[in-house]
Amino acid sequence: MAEHAGAPELDNPEVSHEHSDVDLRRIAYWSIGLALLVVLILAFLLWLFRHYHEREIRRGHAARSFPQSAPATESPRLQIAPRADMDNMRAAEEKILSGYAWIDKEKGVVRIPIERAMEIIAERAKK
């Protein structure tokens, strides 16, 4: 019968483990220091906000807050008939672009139709 000698010994003298534990004292000091730093920063910020708030009160500015209710609107801002609105706007623009009207009567400035303005420009360019 074959003799079972067991697993060979797995020992590598070049490889080892850390012989000391984690330095809990150093970790505790760092944690306490970090906590103290956070507390100091928060205390400074609290002092800073109170300082600015008191300065605003001394200047006579009331503390600004959000309005209690929304301001009332003059009318609905939605277009009820957008196609009709567009047609009305285009008709008004067409009236301006194709009609005659005084711009400044004292200075003699007149609005003329685009077609007529282009004809005048073309006649002047020929001369």
Q: What is the pTM of this model?
A: 0.36
Residue 41 lies in domain: 23-62
Total number of domains constituting the chain? 2
The sign of the CA dihedral 39, 41, 44, 50 is: negative
pLDDT band, very low/low/confident/very high, at 127 (cuts 50, 70, 90): confident
Is 16 among the domain residues? no
Output the pLDDT for position 5. Answer: 66
Is 9 among the domain residues? no
Q: Which residue has the higher pLDDT, 6 or 116?
A: 116
Nearest-angstrom CA–CA distance, 88 and 96? 12
| pLDDT per position as a tens digit, 48-104 | 999 998 988 888 876 666 666 777 777 767 888 999 999 999 999 999 888 999 999
